[in-house]
Amino acid sequence: MDTPQGKYLWTAKVGEKGQIVIPKEARTLFKINPGDTVLLLGDVDRGIALVNYEGYMKFAEEILAAGREAGNDA
């Protein structure tokens, strides 16, 4: 089966304390370093997504800024 470009799949085991280890390849690809904060997004129907907190917050700030700018144009 061919994997679509830019799509990846890894597995991780959950330890007794509920901890998982993010595979090295994923940490490297997504620039996740020791001490970084990650954000878990959950959807009961679709599952869990793990995102870099700083990147997500930058994205959210850009959306809010764009909304403020659009509000000023009205």
Give the model's pLDDT for residue 60: 85
Q: What is the model's pLDDT at position 71?
A: 78
What does the alpha-carbon distance between residue 28 and residue 10 come to, in Å, rounded to a whole number?
A: 13
Task: Tell me what pLDDT residue 1 has.
Answer: 63
* Domains of the chain listed by start with CATH number: 24-73 (2.10.260)
Taking the C-alpha atoms of residue 12 and residue 36, their distance in angstroms, rounded to an integer, is: 19
49 beta partners: 41
pLDDT at 2: 77
How far is the CA of 72 from the CAs of 65, 66, 69, in angstroms? Answer: 11, 10, 5
- As averages over each run of 10 residues, the pLDDT of the chain (74 residues) reads 83 94 93 91 92 84 86 61
